Amino acid sequence: MLTVILAIVIVVLLTIGIVWVIDKFVPKNFKPILHIVLWAIIAFLGYQTFMSVYGEIQFNELKEKRYSVVIEKLKDIRDAELAYKQVNGKFTDNFDELVKFIETGKFTITQRRDSTVFDAEATKRFHGVVTTKEIVIVDTLAFVPVKDSLFGADTRYKTMMNVPVGKPGAKFDLKAGFLDKIPVFEASVDKAIILDGEDENLIAKEKQVVSVDGVNGPTLSVGSMNEVKTNGNWPKNYSKD
């Protein structure tokens, strides 16, 4: 867009120069008409310059609002996936399964305690000398519903697969698997879906962002299939917490 702005500014300056030339060399009879035409061109180009800048400002404001809403959904997906892994030892790539787990799954509340017990093998090795050993006993105290722990009475988990803004009917892409035998997952959505309906040139530019305070790359995502992580690709300024 900077190139466009510079081009418009140059044209405006050239137009002003032409006005000056006309004022000096064009016969008086033709000056009023030419002045009107040229100043109309200047006004039009000035308006275009303003709108090109203001349009990008509006785009960025809308982008931040939409990203913030989508990020809250991605955090819900992450919380649900982490709970699923805690109970099942792996992540899932199926939203229906994830929703069912939230509704029916339970966390096991346990307590670990140390204890001393008789060690028969050691006692035998030491020819009858009574020997003991330290062990850890895990007691199950209770079972807590996953839904109550994560969402309470809120039922927003039932629609967490839906992208809340942008292209109507769009859903998040959910993947899960293993990386060097370690469970990984990734939930993502293309920026073009989030920014649907906005200027295509600005969307294309946004998908190429590489910035410390921006969302880098073509998608907004949490987790990764290429590295072991569960955080999102957005900077702190986009997240409520």
Furthest CA-CA distance within the chain: 127
Quick: pLDDT tens for 147-193: 988 998 999 999 999 999 999 999 999 999 999 999 999 999 999 99
Q: Pick 139 or 229 by higher pLDDT.
A: 229
Q: Report whether 185 contacts 223 (CB < 8 A).
A: yes
Give residue 76's identity as a one-letter amino acid code: D
- Count of CB atoms situated within 10 Å of the CB of 25: 7
Phi, psi of 110 (to 5 degrees): -120, 165
Q: How far is residue 59's CA from residue 196's CA, in Å, rounded to a whole number?
A: 11
- Nearest residue to 167 (alpha-carbon basis) of 197, 209, 200: 197
Question: Minimum mean pLDDT among 27-36, 96-105, 171-180: which range?
Answer: 27-36
User: What would the pLDDT profile of 110-134 be if each residue is shown by its tens digit?
Assistant: 466 677 777 778 777 777 777 777 7
Q: Which of 1-15, 44-58, 172-186, 218-232 has the lowest mean pLDDT?
A: 1-15
- Determine the Cα–Cα distance for residues 87 and 102; give it in Å rounded to an integer: 11
Q: What percent of the chain has pLDDT over 70?
A: 73
* Cα separation values, 12 from 4, 7, 166, Å: 12, 9, 37
Which 8-state DSSP code applies to residue 140?
E
Backbone dihedral angles phi then psi of residue 127, each to the nearest 5 degrees: 55, 50
Given this model, what pLDDT does residue 190 score?
Answer: 97
State yes or no: pLDDT of 49 exceeds 80. Answer: no
Residue-averaged pLDDT of the chain: 82
Which residues 6+ apart lie within 8 Å of 3 measured at CB?
none
pLDDT at position 169 is 95
Backbone phi and psi for residue 209, each to the nearest 5 degrees, phi listed first: -60, 135
The continuous run of DSSP H or E covering 97 comes out as helix 95-104
pLDDT tens figures, 183-233: 999 999 999 999 998 889 899 999 988 887 888 999 999 999 999 999 999
